[in-house]
Amino acid sequence: MILEAKVQYAEVDDKFFSCLNAVVLDRGTPTREKYDVQIVGGWEGIEEMRGLRKQKASQEDLEQAAAQVPLPVEDQVLLLDVVKVKANQGFVKLVCRVAQAA
């Protein structure tokens, strides 16, 4: 599923160093649904940060890699490829890869 998403907020996951956490609005629906998403690929620096984590790099190295990941700006539109839907006690989080910046 492709989601045309307008970024409301984004931050690097500084607990697990595995993704960008973001809140987005779905521009492809008239109701502009709001979603929490984890961007796990297709964005500059994410794959490198995840690779360091898999290599069991030091906390300092992971923090430096996280600081190098540029954040999408507020109201930036991204095309996101939803690869997984996580549901936990009524909360839904979409795991996505960036297909392209719109």
CATH number of residue 28's parent domain = 2.40.50
Average pLDDT over residues 12-28: 93
pLDDT at 29: 82
Q: With a cut of 80, say whether residue 92 has pLDDT above it.
A: yes
Q: With a cut of 90, say whether residue 100 has pLDDT above it.
A: no
pLDDT at 101: 58
Q: How many domains does the chain have?
A: 1
Intra-chain end-to-end CA distance of the chain, in Å: 16
Give the separation between CA 76 and CA 79, rounded to whole angstroms.
10
Average pLDDT over residues 29-51: 92
Structure tokens at 86: 């996580």
Binning pLDDT at 50, 70 and 90, where does residue 1 land? Answer: confident
The 8-class DSSP code of residue 73 comes to P
Give the separation between CA 90 and CA 97, rounded to whole angstroms.
23
pLDDT at 102: 53
Of 23, 4, 20, the C-alpha closest to 74 is 23
Range of the domain at 81: 2-101
